[in-house]
Structure 1
Amino acid sequence: MNLRRKLLLVALCTLALPVAGWLYVRQMETLLREGQAQALTASARAVARSLVATGATLPQQPQGWYVEQAGTPITIDGYGDDWAPLTPWSQPLGPRGSVLLAEDAGGLYLYVQQRGIKRVRADADDPGALHADHLVLELQRGDTHLRYLLASAAPGTFTARLLDPPVADWPDRLVGQWQEDGGGWRLELRLPRPLIVDRLGLGLYDASAGGDPLAVELRPLWHYSPALAQELARLAPEDTRARVLAPTGWLLAQSGRLQAAGPQPGWFAALVYRALLANPVEDAAPWTQDAPRLDLPEITRARAGDPATAWRDGETRASVVLAAAVPIGAPGQVRGVLLLEQASTTVPLLANRALLTLLLTSFGVLLVAGGILLWFATRLSLRLGRLRDAAERAQLADGRLDGLFAQGRFPLTAAPDEIGDLARSFERLFEAVGGYTDYLRTLASKLSHELNTPLAIVKSSLDNLEHALEAHAPVPPDARPYLERARDGVARLGTLVRAMSEASRMERAIAAAEAEDVDLREVVRGCAEAYRPLVGTRTLACELPDTPLPMHCAPELLAQALDKLLDNALSFTPADGWLRLVLSACDDGAEITLANQGPGLPAAMQARLFDSLVSLRDKATPGEAPHLGLGLYVVRLVAERHGGHASARNLEDGSGVAFTLRLRNMSRQRL
């Protein structure tokens, strides 16, 4: 990863700012909700206390029968078609029964259902009617109460029998309709309007289950109270919907409407709020419908005496509804539940506005920080690139290092920062290395020049010594070997001095060689054909690729390197041995391998074999010219000139060694 990408990654770390801001906005939204919930709960408590103080009609008992106002006429026929709209007001009665109560100007209507497949039938006037399936109906007003037995031996009209002594102005008998099917039986009854009761007792007896045939559930009658709704509308805060519920959740009074005041957020703002900011809220479905009875966790907690709040989705986009439920009555004597609901777009608008401001600010800061870091990274990369280019150009064509350039100094040395310190260090380094390199490169020529005169003096002194000895008498036989050894040593030193000068010239010649486009396969083929007369009785195999291998290289240098490798191989290959020359293409260039039969390479010498003045041949045979170890050194220089390297290894079967030249295309000269 380059420097600019690293600094860009650092700039992206500033994204932590909007993330932290987003968390802050969510926390702020939570605090706004909590504040609004506390305020609405306080208002609900005040309204609940006011309802108790003003003596509003509230339930006195925790259980009651809820009576709904009939919206359509009800026909007493024992069938439930007329009661279908009132199904939500159904109340359980016994283990398998239910009851619906409704009223209109004509009186109080009663519809009872009993589920079961077993039936024990009897009319109410039969002696065993109490042991058959029946309903006991108890009517109470003040201290007066009467019980009636409702039973029938067959579907149709039935007459209820009075179980208690008759009371004036109260009917002795009640007439209703009884119907049956495979799933149970139903009865329908109407109490006329003059017969007004405040408590109603119902006892549904199943003969197959047994039990007390006269047991009833006596409860007060609860109605929706317009007077209580009017009182509630006077006490409830504006822009809220208030509902008074019985302890079991039945609706007793209601006022107000849910309407979000103020500007409405757009669809995008609503989407942002719901996706990024809003904490979880309840589903709107249980709240928006006009349910006659609410049985929700908040109401359950309020019924137990603890105020509770809940948030839900609003009916409009991005609006939320807060509901606060508080108990009505003294602790331990809850007479009902007050539910206040308030729709608001304030919280979403404030949260969206805070988030938008945060995002704009963070985006601006991110752009500025990213731009500054990108500019700084670009400038730093360019300056480091100048140092890199200067370091690469510091090596001249002949291999020398030059710390000072045509402009006079190394680039960026005048900069006052750390890059300037680095440039000045590079300048001093190149000056020192350049001077030392020049010294090493000229050392061979200097030594050869300096050694020529002493060698000439030694050689002339030996000649003069021999002439002086011969002038008086012949050189003694035992002294002549010493003179020959001295002359041989002088000759070897002279050869070494000339080789040192030749190596220096060879390095410059290789560095100055020019490249051209050639078919490397033909170059190697030509060299192999030229080598066949030189190998004598040895076998030379040449393996070339099937297709041309174009390459931009210096063919004369490659031929010279192959000459050195062949000369080295012939020195170690026996007279009846073999040699193998292989050319192959690779991903970024080519490989030339010359393998020969012979002794293996010592492990300690494989890494130093291509250094100058290193040789594995016999060091000295008197009278022969010494081998200076420059051949493989030249091979290494040729490989490096082509951007590759030279290597040597022992063959896996131990039959010989292989020398490999790894070559790449030389760079093209720009015109």
Structure 2
Amino acid sequence: MSLRRKLLLVALCTLALPVAGWLYVRQMETLLREGQAQALTASARAVARSLVVGGALLPTHSEGWYVQETQTPITVDGYGDDWAPLTPWSQPLGKRGKLLLAQNKDWLYLYVDVRSTHRTRADAADANALVADHLILSLGKDGLQRSYLVASAAPGLVTARPLGASVPGLPDMLTAQWQEDGSGYRIELRLPRSLGLDQLGLGVHDASVDGPGSNLSGSSEPDPLAVETRPLLSYSAALSKELALLAPDDIRARVLAPQGWLLAQSGHLGATRGEQPGWFAALIYRSLLATRLGDANLWAEDVPRLDLPEVRAASEGAPANVWRQGEARGSVVLAATVPIQRQGRVEGVLLLEQASRAVPLLANRALLGLLLTSFGVLLVAGAILLAFATRLSLRLARLRDAAERAQANDGRLDGPMMMGKFPMTDAEDEIGDLARSFERLFEVVGGYTDYLRTLASKLSHELNTPLAIVKSSLDNLEHALQERSALPPEARPYLARAHDGVARLSALVRAMSEASRMERSIAAAEPEDVDLVEVVRGCAEAYRPLAGTRRLDCDVPATPLHLHCAPELLAQALDKLFDNALSFTPDGGWMRLTLRALDDGAEIELANQGSPLPAAMQGRLFDSLVSLRDKATPGDAPHLGLGLYVVRLVAERHGGNAVARNLEDGNGVAFSLRLQGMPRMRLSG
């Protein structure tokens, strides 16, 4: 992985800043909401105490029958069509019945629905009416009660039979509608509001389920006349007016019965003042910050009952609060519930709701500011690190390129070291230390390379005299022994081997001297503008008579190919290549001399049929004193391996290189001279 990528990953670590800031903003938003919740709960407690101290009319029983408000008259026909809007808030009655109560300014309506698949019928006037399916209705007023038996042998209008003595203010006769089908029966009736009823008792007797004589409570001694009496609860306008005087502004207040029935209400969740956040800000707040908002549908305004965990908690004496989504975009609503207690007994629940945009706006602004700051810091840090990584990468690349160009293929110092100074050695950081280390290293390597390059000429000069002494001593010894006839026959092979070894050493010394001389001659060659096509074609024509049975092909461009070079050096290099190819090409084989133009010069290639090059020797073929020919036998002249070394020197003198490779088909090898031309000499003014 590159340095820039590594430093980019380090820059990404600054993302911890916005994450930490986001957590901080969430904590801040939570603290703000907790503070607002505590303030609203305190206000609710104060309003609840004021209701108790002011003697507000609250139900004195924990349970009651709730009477819903209806704006349209209900047709008393025994069918539930008119009750459909009120059905979701029906009240359970007995084991299989449900009760709906509604009122308007004139009438109190009652609707009882009993589910029963088997019917036992009898009229209310029959003697066996109490053992048939029937309804016991008890009306209460000012502590007085009177019961009525409602039963029917057939659907239609029925007359309830009063039970017991007459009670002043309560009717002596009631009429109701009785309808039934395969699923059960329904009873519907209405009573004048002028009666001023404050209690209602109901008892449903289902003969098919309860058996003869069973009652609503399911006791061991069923009573067909038993009823469940509860006070009547309904929405109170007087209590709502008193609540409106106590509730704070811009807050909706509701008084609920312990079961959640709405008793009074005041105020509205008015439109919050101030700036309204956009849809994106609202989405960010609800998805990233306020993740604990309740559903607004559960707090719908026009419902007679709120069966919610917060209401149930307050009905048990514990205050509670909840945040929910507001109806307006970008707003939230805080709902706080507290119990209304009198003498340690919970008589109701006070619910206060307050809409607010302040908390979302503050949280959004804090988060937006944090994101902008974090983005700016991340951008600046990333730019600085990227610039630093880029500069560091460029410096390291420059140092790498200088190190790669510091030496030529033969080990001589090249590139920046020829100018006497390695780049970036003046830097005072670690890169400067590394550059100075490279400079010292190349100075040592260059000195050692120069020593090795001059070693051959030094050795050839130093070994000439000892070799001459040894050779003359061997000659004198052999001559003296032969004159005296004192040379034993068994000593002749040893003396011949000594002469052969001296000859080989002399050849090596001459080769080392010749190599040094060739380097100087190649370096001193004068360049000129030459058509390489003519040079290569002329060499090919001269080589054909020397090829013998071998075939030599020449492939050159049809147009001239000019190059500023030394033609005698190129001819000498081609001579070495041809001599090398001729020695390895079998009789009847082929050789191919090719000249092709390159973008930056030219390439001369000589390919020949023969054995492929060993992989271990391909990188050393153009070194001095390296040869692939078989070792010479005693008495033969040794091959010193200077031909390809001369080829390399010529190629490098022309700004190129020499390359050897095996042919793709494996039937031979190819030696190439890649030339760029020699530099032109500048004339001094």
Instruction: Please classify the TM superposition score into its range, dividing by the shorter chain length.
Output: 0.7 to 0.9
Task: Report how far residue 242 of structure 1 moved.
Answer: 1.1
Q: Please state whether the residue corresponding to 2:208 is helix, strand or coil.
A: coil
Separation of aligned partners in 2, 1:669 and 1:376: 41
Q: Please state whether the residue corresponding to 1:341 is helix, strand or coil.
A: strand
Separation of aligned partners in 2, 1:597 and 1:196: 126
Equivalent residue in structure 1 for 2:510, among 493, 498, 513:
498
Separation of aligned partners in 1, 2:377 and 2:244: 52
Task: Report how far residue 608 of structure 1 moved.
Answer: 9.3
After superposition, give the CA deviation of every residue in 1:596-648 in whole Å (9 maximum; x if it has no partner): 789x99x9999999987677887563312335577898999999999998799
**Which residue of the partner structure matches residue 560 of structure 2?**
none
Separation of aligned partners in 1, 2:170 and 2:498: 161
Distance 1:629 1:303, change over 3 A: farther
2:19 aligned partner, one-letter code: V
- Asked if 1:32 is matched to 2:32, the reply is yes
**Which residue of the partner structure matches residue 58 of structure 1?**
58
**Which residue of the partner structure matches residue 424 of structure 1?**
436
After superposition, give the CA deviation of every residue in 1:394-416 in whole Å (9 maximum; x if it has no partner): 22476411586465422221222
Distance 1:667 1:267, change over 3 A: farther
Separation of aligned partners in 2, 1:101 and 1:222: 10
Check conservation: 1:161, 1:174, Cα contact below 8 A: yes
**Which residue of the partner structure matches residue 112 of structure 1?**
112
How is 1:321-332 mapped onto 2 (pairs within 5 angstroms)?
321-329=333-341
- Asked if 1:249 is matched to 2:260, the reply is yes
Separation of aligned partners in 2, 1:402 and 1:580: 36
**Which residue of the partner structure matches residue 275 of structure 1?**
287
After superposition, give the CA deviation of every residue in 1:238-288 in whole Å (9 maximum; x if it has no partner): 221111111111000111111323321122321222232222311111213
How is 1:60-209 mapped onto 2 (pairs within 5 angstroms)?
60-209=60-209
2:151 aligned partner, one-letter code: A
1:57 aligned partner, one-letter code: L
Check conservation: 2:424, 2:435, Cα contact below 8 A: yes
**Which residue of the partner structure matches residue 296 of structure 1?**
308
Task: Report how far residue 184 of structure 1 moved.
Answer: 2.6
2:321 aligned partner, one-letter code: T
**Which residue of the partner structure matches residue 19 of structure 1?**
19
- Asked if 1:261 is matched to 2:273, the reply is yes
Q: Please state whether the residue corresponding to 1:209 is helix, strand or coil.
A: helix
1:175 aligned partner, one-letter code: T
- Asked if 1:445 is matched to 2:437, the reply is no
Distance 1:485 1:103, change over 3 A: closer
- Asked if 1:337 is matched to 2:344, the reply is no
**Which residue of the partner structure matches residue 405 of structure 2?**
393
Task: Report how far residue 124 of structure 1 moved.
Answer: 0.8
- Asked if 1:458 is matched to 2:487, the reply is no
**Which residue of the partner structure matches residue 683 of structure 2?**
none
Which piece of structure 1 moves more, 118-127 or 427-436?
A: 118-127
Check conservation: 2:139, 2:170, Cα contact below 8 A: no
- Asked if 1:359 is matched to 2:382, the reply is no
- Asked if 1:436 is matched to 2:448, the reply is yes
Separation of aligned partners in 2, 1:568 and 1:215: 132
Q: Please state whether the residue corresponding to 1:334 is helix, strand or coil.
A: strand
Equivalent residue in structure 2 for 1:374, among 383, 386, 408:
386
How is 1:38-53 mapped onto 2 (pairs within 5 angstroms)?
38-53=38-53
Separation of aligned partners in 1, 2:260 and 2:160: 32
Task: Report how far residue 361 of structure 1 moved.
Answer: 1.3
**Which residue of the partner structure matches residue 561 of structure 2?**
none
Check conservation: 1:108, 1:192, Cα contact below 8 A: yes
Aligned length: 637
2:635 aligned partner, one-letter code: G
Q: Percent identity?
A: 66
Q: Please state whether the residue corresponding to 2:350 is helix, strand or coil.
A: strand
Distance 1:632 1:302, change over 3 A: farther
Check conservation: 1:245, 1:253, Cα contact below 8 A: yes
After superposition, give the CA deviation of every residue in 1:348-381 in whole Å (9 maximum; x if it has no partner): 1111111111112112212222222223223223
1:422 aligned partner, one-letter code: L
1:329 aligned partner, one-letter code: Q
Check conservation: 1:133, 1:151, Cα contact below 8 A: yes
Check conservation: 1:123, 1:153, Cα contact below 8 A: yes
Gaps of 5+ in 1: 543-553, 582-588, 649-656
Distance 1:345 1:558, change over 3 A: farther
Distance 1:604 1:665, change over 3 A: closer
Distance 1:145 1:362, change over 3 A: same
How is 1:599-610 mapped onto 2 (pairs within 5 angstroms)?
none
Separation of aligned partners in 2, 1:112 and 1:592: 115
**Which residue of the partner structure matches residue 547 of structure 1?**
none
2:334 aligned partner, one-letter code: L
Q: Please state whether the residue corresponding to 1:187 is helix, strand or coil.
A: strand
After superposition, give the CA deviation of every residue in 1:130-185 in whole Å (9 maximum; x if it has no partner): 12221100112233111100112222221100112222343222122222333332
Separation of aligned partners in 1, 2:468 and 2:76: 150
How is 1:538-553 mapped onto 2 (pairs within 5 angstroms)?
none
1:244 aligned partner, one-letter code: V
- Asked if 1:223 is matched to 2:234, the reply is yes
Separation of aligned partners in 2, 1:664 and 1:219: 116
Q: Please state whether the residue corresponding to 2:412 is helix, strand or coil.
A: coil
Distance 1:287 1:320, change over 3 A: same
After superposition, give the CA deviation of every residue in 1:329-352 in whole Å (9 maximum; x if it has no partner): 169732111111111111111111
Which piece of structure 1 moves more, 200-209 or 327-336?
A: 327-336
Q: Please state whether the residue corresponding to 1:123 is helix, strand or coil.
A: coil
If the length of structure 1 is used for normalisation, what is the TM-score? Answer: 0.80
If the length of structure 2 is used for normalisation, what is the TM-score? Answer: 0.78
Separation of aligned partners in 1, 2:316 and 2:674: 90
Q: Please state whether the residue corresponding to 1:238 is helix, strand or coil.
A: coil
Q: Please state whether the residue corresponding to 1:40 is helix, strand or coil.
A: helix
2:364 aligned partner, one-letter code: N
Distance 1:473 1:104, change over 3 A: closer
Separation of aligned partners in 2, 1:502 and 1:567: 23
Check conservation: 1:402, 1:434, Cα contact below 8 A: no
2:377 aligned partner, one-letter code: V
Equivalent residue in structure 2 for 1:350, among 339, 351, 362:
362
Task: Report how far residue 452 of structure 1 moved.
Answer: 2.3
How is 1:394-409 mapped onto 2 (pairs within 5 angstroms)?
394-396=406-408, 399-402=411-414, 405=417, 408-409=420-421
Separation of aligned partners in 2, 1:531 and 1:225: 132
Separation of aligned partners in 2, 1:556 and 1:178: 130
1:191 aligned partner, one-letter code: L
**Which residue of the partner structure matches residue 499 of structure 2?**
487
Q: Please state whether the residue corresponding to 2:299 is helix, strand or coil.
A: helix
- Asked if 1:410 is matched to 2:418, the reply is no
After superposition, give the CA deviation of every residue in 1:541-570 in whole Å (9 maximum; x if it has no partner): x9xxxxxxxxxxx99999889868867868
Which piece of structure 1 moves more, 234-243 or 637-646?
A: 637-646
